[in-house]
Amino acid sequence: MSGILNIYKEDVPTPAEQDAIRSIAKPFHAKSDDELRGLAGEFLRNTELDESLLAIFEKGAMLAQQPTRYEQRGDGLDLTETEVRTLRDEKENKWNISGTLLSLVIVCSMSAAVQGMDETAVNGAQLFYSKHFGIEDDEHLLGLLNAAPYLSCAVLGCWLTKPMNKYFGRRGTIFIACIISSLSCLWQGFTHTWQHMFFARLVLGLGIGPKSATVPIYAAESSPASIRGALTMMWQMWVAFGVMVGYLAGVAFHDIHSEKFPGLNWRLMIASPMVPPLIVCVHIFFCPESPRWLISHKRFKSAFEALESLRGTKLQAARDLLHIHFSLEAEKIVRRRLGVIQRRKELLTVPRNWRALRASTIVMAMQQLGGVNVIVYYSCNIIVEAGASTKKALLLSMGFGIINFLFALPAVWTIDTFGRRNLLLITFPMMALFMLLTGMAFYIPDVDSKTAVVSLGIFLFGMAYSPGEGPVPFVYSAECYPLHLRDIGMSWSTSVTWFFNFLVSMTLPLCLKHMGEQGTFAYYAGWNAIGFFLIFMYVPETKGKTLEGLDKVFRRRSSGENWKSLKALFLRGQVRSDIVVDEVEPEQTKNPYLM
C-alpha cells in the first residue's frame, strides 16, 4: 500500500521560487517600518485610491505584517483607543460581524441549501416517475437518471469554475449557477420520457458544479481570518439543511394529484428546488464582490469599499487590502516562473504537495464510498423494500434529513477543538457498524420490526456521519494545499468527490439487485473500515495550524510510525506510548522544502 501511495520524486522549485512561494503567505516578512510606509505610499500613488488615506494605509501595512502589533504601545504605530478596541474585538468578539458580512453569510448558506435540495428532491420523486417512464425494473436507467448531475459535475461542471470565476467574478458565477439550477429543476418537472429527464439532470449538474466550488471560495475570501474556517465549514452544514428541506418537499407533495396533470406529485417534488436559487439571485446583488477578485482585476477602490463594508473600519480594510494585494503579486511571480504545467506537476513531484493531495483525495473519496448518498438518494426505495408504504418511507427519510442537519451543527465547534483527524477516526468505525446494522435488519421476517430497525440503522448512520465525514472533507481540502496550488488542488478534490458521487448513485440499484440489501450495506460497511485505515495512515491533523504549520505537517514522513502504532492498536489493544502519531520530525536534509 505504501509503495502504491508514494509515487513522488524529489523535483522541487529553485530557491528563488521557494522564496516567492513563502512570500505568498507572508508578503511583508522582515521589512522595516520605513519600508512598510514606503510600500503603502507607493501603492496609493499607483492606484485610484485617495492619497489622503496614506496614514491609514501605513498603519494597515504594519498590522498586515504583525496583526497583534496593536497591543504594543509606543512603537510608532500610533493607534487611537477606538482603533485598538476595534482590533481587539475582532479577535475576542469574532462573531460581532457587520451587516454586510451577515448578508453574505446568508447568501452562502442559502446557496448550500439549494445544493442539498437539488440532491434529495429526486429521492421521493423517483418512486413515481420510474413507473411513469416505465423503467421501474431497469436498474441501469434508474441509476443513470439519479447519477446524471454528478457525472456532469465531475466531467465538466467543476472544471468550468475557473473560467467562469475569471470572467464573471464570484457573484456572477453564483448567479449564473443558480439560474441554471432553477431552470433545470423546472425543466425536470415537465419531462415525459426518461431521455428528456436525463438531459435536464445533466444540465442541473452544470449549475451544481460551479456553485459548489465557488461559494466556499467566496465565503473564505470575504470573511475575516478569525471566522474563516467556521464560515467555510458551514457550507456542508447548510447542504444538510437543504437535504432536510428536500425531504420535507417530498412529504408535502406526496398526496397532490390531478387528472389533468398526470404525476403532479412527483413533478412538484422534483421542481421544488427551483425557488430558493431565485432568492439567491436577487439577494446576491446586495452583497459586495469578493475583495480578492476585485484586487486581482485592479479594481482597488471597489475592493477597499467592499472590505470596509465587510470589516467595519477603514483601518481593517487597508490592512487586508495590502495583504491581499502583495500576496497576489507574489503569487503572480510564482505562476510566471512555474507555469500551469509545472504547478500541476508539483502536486505529484514535491513530497509536501503529494502528501496533501493524497490526504485530500482520501477524505473526499471516502465521503462518497462511506455510503452516505446511498441513503440520501435512495432511502425511500430502501425503506419501501423493507415493507413500508411510500408515504411512510418519505416520512422516515424526512427524519433522516432532520437528524443529518441537527447533528451537523456541533461540527462548528468540534472541528476546531476536537480536530479533523480525530473526528474521522471516531466516526468511520461507527459508520461501518451502523451500515452493517441496516443491512442485517433485512433478515428480520416481521415487516414492522424490519422497517423499524432499518430506519434505526439509517438514523444512527446519520448521527455518526454528520459531525465527522460530512463537514471535514471540504474544510480539509481547502486548507491542506499550499497557496500557489490551492486552485488546482481544489479543482481536483471537488472533481473526485463528484466522480465518486456519480459512481455510488449510478451503481446502487445494480448492487441492490445482485448483492441484495444485506450484501450492499455490508459492502459499504467494508469501505468505512478501509476508510478508517487510510485516514489513520495517511491523513495528518491540520487543526489550528498556520500556513507554515501546515507545511511542516505535510513534510513529515509519518506513515511508517503510523503503521507501527496501528499494529500496536490491534495487537495489544492500545496505541504505543512511545509514538506520537503525526508528530515525528523527519531527518534534516540539505533542502528543507523536501521534508
pLDDT tens-digit profile of 200-243?
A: 999 999 998 888 888 888 888 888 877 776 777 777 788 889 99
pLDDT exceeds 60 at position 9? no
What are the residues whose beta carbons fall under 8 Å from the beta carbon of 211, sequence distance 6 or more? 111, 114, 115, 173, 174, 177, 178, 181
Give residue 570's pLDDT: 58
pLDDT digits (tens, 9 = 90+) for 182-206: 999 999 999 999 999 999 999 999 9
Q: pLDDT value at position 193?
A: 93
Query: Is residue 461 one of the residues assigned to a domain?
Result: yes
Q: Is the pLDDT of residue 456 over 90?
A: yes
* pLDDT digits 0-9 by tens, 90-125: 878 877 888 899 999 899 989 999 988 988 888 889
Q: Which of 298, 313, 328 is a domain's end point?
A: 298
Q: Same domain, yes or no, for 255 and 400?
A: no
| Sign of the alpha-carbon torsion through 308, 311, 312, 316 | negative
Asked whether residue 456 is assigned to any structural domain, the reply reads: yes
Q: How confident is the model at residue 8 (pLDDT cuts 50, 70, 90)?
A: very low
What pLDDT is stored for residue 27 in this prediction? 81
- 65 in a structural domain: no
292 and 435: one domain? no
Residue 591: φ, ψ to 5°: -110, 105
Domain shared by 268 and 388, yes or no: no
Are 126 and 264 members of one domain? yes
| CATH (domain of 411) | 1.20.1250.20
On whether residue 35 sits in a domain, the answer given is no
End-to-end Cα, the chain, rounded Å: 21
Average pLDDT across the chain, whole number: 84
pLDDT in tens, 119-155: 888 888 998 999 999 998 888 898 999 889 988 887 8
At 587 the pLDDT is 35
333-361 pLDDT, tens digit each: 777 766 667 777 888 888 888 899 999 99
Is the per-residue pLDDT at 589 higher than 60? no
Domain containing residue 116: 99-298
pLDDT at 471: 83
Domain limit, last residue, from 237, 263, 298: 298
Residue with the bigger pLDDT between 16 and 60: it is 60
Answer whether residue 373 is part of any domain. Answer: yes
Map 501-538 to HEC letters: HHHHHHHHHHHHHHHHHHHHHHHHHHHHHHHHHHHHHH
Is pLDDT of 302 > 60?
yes
Q: What is the pLDDT of residue 75?
A: 61
Residue 592 has pLDDT above 50, yes or no: no
Same domain, 370 and 501: yes
What local confidence, expressed as pLDDT, does residue 495 receive?
A: 82
Angle of the 447-465 helix axis to the 372-385 helix axis, nearest 10: 170
Percent of the chain at pLDDT exceeding 90: 39
Residue 440 shares a structural domain with residue 522: yes
Q: Report the alpha-carbon distance of residue 386 to residue 384 in Å, rounded.
A: 5
In a domain, 173, yes or no: yes
pLDDT at 4: 39
Q: Is 242 inside a domain boundary?
A: yes
Do 277 and 378 lie in one domain? The reply is no
Please indicate, yes or no, if residue 44 is contained in any of the structural domains. Answer: no
Same domain flag for 528 and 418? yes
Task: Average the pLDDT over 77-89 and give the result.
Answer: 82
For residue 258, pLDDT over 50 is answered with: yes
Looking at the fold, whether 358 and 288 belong to one and the same domain comes out as no
Same domain (yes/no): 273, 375: no
Whether pLDDT at 583 is above 50: no
Residues 280 and 363 in one domain: no
**Looking at the 3D structure of the chain, how many domains does it have?**
2
pLDDT in tens, 518-562: 999 999 999 999 999 999 989 988 887 766 677 788 877 666 556
Answer yes or no: do 467 and 399 share one domain: yes
d(CA 478, CA 493): 9
> Mind giving me the DSSP string for 117-156?
HHHHHHHHHHHHHHHHTT-TT-HHHHHHHHHHHHHHIIII
User: d(Cα 551, Cα 532) in Å, to the nearest integer?
Assistant: 24
Write out pLDDT tens, residues 47-59. 989 888 999 999 9
How far are the Cα atoms of 142, 173, 517, 593 from residue 148, in angstroms, in the given order? 10, 21, 23, 42
Tell me the C-alpha distance between 464 and 451, whole Å: 20
pLDDT category, 517, cuts 50, 70, 90? very high
Residue 84 is predicted with a pLDDT of: 84
> What pLDDT sits at residue 519?
95
Specify the pLDDT at position 575. Answer: 44
Residue 279 has pLDDT above 70, yes or no: yes
